[in-house]
């Protein structure tokens, strides 16, 4: 299988019809234009991929920051339970 599921015979027929319709000089110009278009699409897709990766990295940083903030804001239950145990012991001694 070749390009888009077309084999060599099909591509040869399409190229022959293109030469017949547009002529050899116009085919070269169209090929140049299509090459430029392909390069532009490749550059645009690369820029899009970089922008998406940057956006995902930023979202990951925000999630990590929120997780860190929640961990820092969580009450320290070991200190509170130690304090309440001390208070109970002091009351029992009194």
Average pLDDT rounded to a whole number, residues 2-24: 81
At 64, the pLDDT band (50, 70, 90 cuts) reads very high
pLDDT of residue 40: 92
Most trustworthy range by pLDDT among 2-11, 50-59, 60-69, 84-93: 50-59
Average pLDDT rounded to a whole number, residues 19-33: 83
At 88, the pLDDT band (50, 70, 90 cuts) reads low
Please provide the average confidence, as pLDDT, over all residues in the chain.
80
Length of the chain: 94
* Residue linked to tokens 């015979």: 9
- Domain ranges for the chain, please list them: 3-72
* Residue linked to tokens 């929640």: 70
At 24, the pLDDT band (50, 70, 90 cuts) reads confident
The 3-state secondary structure of the chain reads CCHHHCCHHHHHHHHHHHHHHHCHHHHHHHHHHHHHHHHHHHHHHHHHHHHHHHHHHHHHHHHHHHHHHHHHHCCCHHHHHHHHHHHHHHHHHC
């Amino acid at each position: 299988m070749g390009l888009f599921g077309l084999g060599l015979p099909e591509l040869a027929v399409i190229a022959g019809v293109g030469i017949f319709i547009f002529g050899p000089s116009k085919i070269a110009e169209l090929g140049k234009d299509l090459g430029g278009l392909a390069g532009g699409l490749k550059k645009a897709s690369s820029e899009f991929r970089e922008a998406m990766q940057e956006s995902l990295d930023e979202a990951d940083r925000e999630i990590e920051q929120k997780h860190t903030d929640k961990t820092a804001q969580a009450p320290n239950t070991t200190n509170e339970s130690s304090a309440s145990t001390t208070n109970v012991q002091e009351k029992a001694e009194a």
